[in-house]
Amino acid sequence: MIHIPNMLMIGASGRNTGKTEFACRLIRREAGIRCVTAVKITTIRERGGSCPRGGAGCGVCSALKGGYEILEEKTGGEAKDTQRMKRAGACRVYWIRSFRDHLAAALADFLSRIQPGECVICESNSARLAVEPGAFIVVREKEGGPTKSSCTEVLDLADRIVSFDGRTWDLQPDRCVFLNGRWFVPALATAAILAGGKSSRMGADKSLLPVRGRPLISHVADAVRPLADELIVGGDRSRFAFLECRVVPDEQPDQGPLMGILSCLEAASHDRVLVVACDMPRLPAGIIPRMMRDARRFHAVIPVSADGTPEPLFAVYTKGFISAARSALAAGKRRVLDALDQPACTHRHIAIPEGFPLENINTPEDYRRIAGDDSI
Domains of the chain: 2-184 (3.40.50), 187-371 (3.90.550.10)
* DSSP character string of 211-222: ETTEEHHHHHHH
What ranges in the chain are assigned the alpha helix state H? 19-31, 81-87, 103-112, 149-152, 216-224, 257-267, 288-294, 322-330, 336-340, 364-371
pLDDT of amino acid 368 = 87
pLDDT of residue 46 exceeding 70: no
Share of the chain above pLDDT 90, in %: 77
- State phi, psi for 320 to the nearest 5 degrees: -65, -15
Confidence of residue 358 (pLDDT cuts 50, 70, 90): confident
pLDDT digit string (tens) for 101-159?
999 999 999 999 999 999 999 999 999 999 999 999 999 998 877 899 999 999 999 99
Indicate the DSSP class of residue 45: S
Count CA atoms within 13 Å of residue 215 on its CB side.
Answer: 15
Collapsed DSSP state (helix, strand, coil) of residue 148: coil
Q: Smallest Cα–Cα separation from 369: which of 216, 240, 181?
A: 216
Buried b / exposed e over 185-201, threshold 16 CB at 10 Å, is: bbbbbbbbbbbbbebee
Ramachandran category for residue 177: left, alpha or beta (phi over 0 → left; psi -120 to 50 → alpha): beta
Taking the C-alpha atoms of residue 175 and residue 26, their distance in angstroms, rounded to an integer, is 10
Distances (CA, A) of 49 to 45, 98, 228: 6, 12, 40
Model pTM score: 0.90
Confidence of residue 218 (pLDDT cuts 50, 70, 90): very high
pLDDT of residue 45 exceeding 90: no
pLDDT digit string (tens) for 292-320?
999 999 999 999 998 899 999 999 999 99
pLDDT digit string (tens) for 252-301?
998 999 999 999 999 999 999 999 999 998 888 889 999 999 999 999 99
Taking the C-alpha atoms of residue 121 and residue 52, their distance in angstroms, rounded to an integer, is 20
pLDDT of amino acid 194 = 97
Q: Which amino acid type is present at position 372?
A: G
Residues with Cβ within 8 Å of 260's Cβ and at least 6 positions away in sequence, in order, are: 194, 196, 234, 235, 250
For 76-89, what is the mean pLDDT? 89
User: In the predicted model, what is the mean pLDDT of the chain?
Assistant: 91
